[in-house]
Amino acid sequence: MSTATLSQYLKQQQGNLTPELASVIETIIESCKTIDQALQKGAIAGILGSAEHENVQGETQKKLDVISNQILIDALQVHPHVGGLASEELDTFTSAQENGQYLVLFDPLDGSSNIDINMCVGTIFSILPAKNAVTQAEDFMQAGVDQVAAGYVMYGPSTMLALSVGVGTVFFTYDVDSQEFVLTKQDISISPTTQEFAINASNQRHWEQPVKRYINELLEGKTGVRGKDFNMRWVACMVGDVHRILCRSGIFMYPYDLKDPKKAGRLRLMYEANPMSMLVEQAGGVATTGRVRILDIQPTELHQRVPVILGSKDEVELVTSYH
């Protein structure tokens, strides 16, 4: 097993990324270490529970949502190579350094409903090239294919980092003794076939017919058209569900539904769907809305939502074909 730290790995990738980009990634991960420490203290530090106000999405924020968001903003806004940043928790973008080469977008604490029950949560990030010396809102409107790096930190039994700089997806594990992220898995590959799926089944009555057909076929198991049994898993944290797929394949779905026809989907394109799609595609998987490749979508607004179907190639392509 390699013992390369994150810093050493980034130096080894100098042909694939600039030193400036490496510095931005390291600053994000240093912030995640601070978030991890706050999570470890939990109730002892009085940081569990609701912050008693809503974010721009109309969702009730947890205290740790607010804390995590501020930790990342404080670190990135002063970074010399960050021109601007945007968070799922904030209404608009935040300006950073003039002539900063990169834009950073993040979901500071994905799955925050899991905090108070001590289950998996994570931080998701996406890095785009800056377009202008002074960042403007339209500079963030770049398709996912333009991402120069993406990843997440999962705060679980082990704190882990999944990262892609465009040359595959790799895992790091946080060593509490050295306080370093150590490379623990390279060449991550998602099998094209699987017998696991993840979906919030409570929304079944609102799904479109193609998704109902696909899930019904999975549930029929050996006696149905698929001829094999499937298991369902659902962590209620996208980081946890995608991490499982990167570890042992599977399909994750948060499809379009008719519950609120005004919303194209549940998940945010630029804070969740794009970075996760990059990680999955770099590991040989596929990511679509059910109709189009997610990484090809041209954003029109900062908090745009999209349906998400990603994971094992054969399964994603099958359910996409039903649309």
pLDDT at 263 over 70: yes
The pLDDT of residue 1 is 47
Query: How do residues 53-93 score in pLDDT, each as one tens digit?
Result: 555 555 555 588 888 999 999 999 999 999 999 999 999 99
Residue 109 assigned to a binding site: yes
Q: What is the pLDDT of residue 293?
A: 98
For residue range 177-198, what is the model confidence (pLDDT) as tens digits? Answer: 999 999 999 999 999 999 999 9
Domain boundary among 142, 163, 185: 185
Domain co-membership, 180 together with 206:
no
In a domain, 205, yes or no: yes
Which pLDDT tens digit goes with each residue over 114-137? 877 888 999 999 999 999 999 999
Mean per-residue pLDDT over the chain, rounded: 92
Residues 180 and 210 in one domain: no
Residue 200 marked as a ligand binder:
yes
Q: Which of the 8 DSSP states describes residue 225? A: T
pLDDT of residue 249: 98
pLDDT value of residue 156:
87
List Cβ neighbours of 214 (8 Å cut-off, separation of 6 or more): 318, 319, 322
Residue 1 lies in a domain: no
- Are residues 200 and 172 located together in one domain of the fold? no
In a shared domain, residues 18 and 143: yes
Residue 39 sits in the same domain as residue 160: yes
CATH number for the domain spanning 58: value is 3.30.540.10
The reply, when asked if residue 110 is annotated as ligand binding, is yes
Counting the structural domains of the chain, the total is 2
Residue 75 placed within a domain: yes
Asked whether residue 52 is marked as a ligand-binding residue, the answer is no
- Does 135 lie in the same domain as 239? no
Pairing verdict, β 60-62 and 286-288: unpaired
Q: 135 and 116: one domain? A: yes
Q: Is 111 flagged in the annotation as binding?
A: yes
The answer to whether the CB of 291 falls within 8 A of the CB of 257 is no
Q: Is residue 138 part of a domain?
A: yes
For residue 292, the domain's CATH number is 3.40.190.80
Q: How far apart are CA 66 and CA 61, in angstroms?
A: 7
Burial of 279 from C-beta contacts in 10 A (0-12 / 13-18 / 19+): buried
- Burial (CB < 10 A; 0-12, 13-18, 19+), residue 133, is exposed
Residues 256 and 134 in one domain: no
Residue 143 domain boundaries: 6-185
Which alpha helices (H) appear in the chain, and where do they start and end? Answer: 6-12, 19-41, 63-77, 209-220, 238-248, 274-282, 313-322
Radius of gyration of the CA atoms of the chain, in A? 19
Residue 51 confidence class, pLDDT cut points 50, 70, 90: very low
Do 178 and 214 belong together in one domain? no
pLDDT (mean) for 245-259: 95
92 and 226 together in one domain: no
Q: Is 191 within the bounds of a domain?
A: no
Residues 102, 148: one domain? Answer: yes
Q: Is 38 part of a structural domain of the chain?
A: yes
Q: How far is CA 274 from CA 10, 52, 137, 148, 217, in A?
A: 22, 29, 18, 11, 28
Among the candidates 155, 185, 215, a domain finishes at: 185
The CA-to-CA distance between both ends of the chain, in Å, stands at 43
Closest residue by Cα to residue 19 from 31, 27, 11: 11
Residue 260 within any structural domain of the chain: yes
Q: Tell me the pLDDT tens digit for each residue of 149-161.
A: 999 999 989 999 9
pLDDT at 41: 78
39: confidence class by pLDDT, cuts 50, 70, 90: confident
In a domain, 190, yes or no: no
C-alpha–C-alpha distance, residues 177 and 281, integer Å:
33
The verdict on whether residue 318 carries a ligand-binding annotation is: no
> Which residue type occupies 317?
E
The pLDDT of residue 235 is above 50 = yes
Quick one: pLDDT at residue 218? 98
Q: Is 88 annotated as a binding residue?
A: yes
For residue 161, how far is the Cα from the chain centroid? 11
Residues 158 and 206 in one domain: no
What is the pLDDT averaged over residues 238-245?
98
Indicate if the pLDDT at residue 286 is higher than 60.
Answer: yes
Q: What is the rounded average pLDDT of the residues 5-30?
A: 97
Inform me whether the pLDDT recorded for 50 exceeds 80: no
Q: Which of 185, 218, 245 corresponds to the end of one domain?
A: 185
